[in-house]
Amino acid sequence: MKTKASSRGYEAEVSSVSHDEYEEELHLLQIELVKLQKHFLCCNDRILVIFEGRDASGKDGTIKRIVEYLSPRETRVVALGKPSDRDRGSWYFQRFTAELPAAGEFTLFNRSWYNRAGVEHVMGFCTDAEHEEFMSSVLEFEGMLVRSGIRLIKYYLDITKPEQKKRLEDRRRDPLKQWKISPIDEQAVALWNKYSTARNEMFSRTSAVVPWNIVCADDKRLARLNVIKDLLHRLHYADKDEELIRPSRQIVFPYADEHLLSGAIAK
């Protein structure tokens, strides 16, 4: 089945997948993830993957599929809550450094220090000076991580405004997703343009050391499959199935300014 991606400003066709096709391909990709973990355990690699995106962009579901069959001893998902009084009185990056991967660990951040570039900035949870200090220092911080040997990869799951609105409405109706509802959800759609402005500034100012990878995430199945493919494509491990892990560059692609103008990134 083919669907047009014209809502994002380009006419290339993007293949959708049926449930059975999705499950079959996901299973094969999860086998590749197990191969990857076996490799970095032997080599003592440190892998850190950051997932950012608007509320309801699909971060939870994507991370769940990545870690589902990996060893829980060497795989950690970090989703920090509201900072404490002590956190607010400390160096901003301090509470994140405690969660960085050690040798042989694979760590995934479900939101990260980039909260300061997004929700904290938009919602007024930080001052303009704190926001500017973050934007001025984050490249140096990430440079230190990379130089220390951490393999850092950053994904931004990008959805359109109608899709976000639909997902948030579905969330409110689903009794199994009540834990996901927060007061910030109510502002997500209303403050769409402010979030877009903050996101665009984040992309333009924080891509120099570790580039952002944009994921067109309106189709959850395609987004999940292609994030896993892109992740596997970037990392070295033995017995890699090169044909299987080739991602679609219509779904996952490196950030560039022209994507904001073309509509490849939701406005």
Specify the CATH number for the domain of residue 47: 3.40.50.300
pLDDT for residue 179: 79
pLDDT for residue 183: 77
Rounded Cα distance between 222 and 21, Å, is 11
pLDDT for residue 230: 98
How many residues does this entry show for the chain? Answer: 267
pLDDT for residue 213: 98
Residue 26 lies in a domain: yes
Residue 112 lies in a domain: yes
Residue 199 lies in a domain: yes
pLDDT for residue 8: 57
For the chain, list residues with pLDDT below 70: 1-15
pLDDT for residue 5: 43
pLDDT for residue 181: 80
Residue burial 106-119, b: 16+ Cβ < 10 Å; e: rest: bbbbbbbbbbbbbb
Q: Report the number of distinct structural domains present in the chain.
A: 1
Find the domain containing 45 and state its range.
2-262
Residue 93 lies in a domain: yes
pLDDT for residue 256: 97
Rounded Cα distance between 119 and 125, Å, is 8
Rounded Cα distance between 162 and 164, Å, is 6
Q: pTM, whole model, 2 decimals? A: 0.94
Residue 19 lies in a domain: yes
Residue 267 lies in a domain: no
pLDDT for residue 157: 98
Residue 105: what are its φ and ψ, rounded to 5°?
A: -110, 150
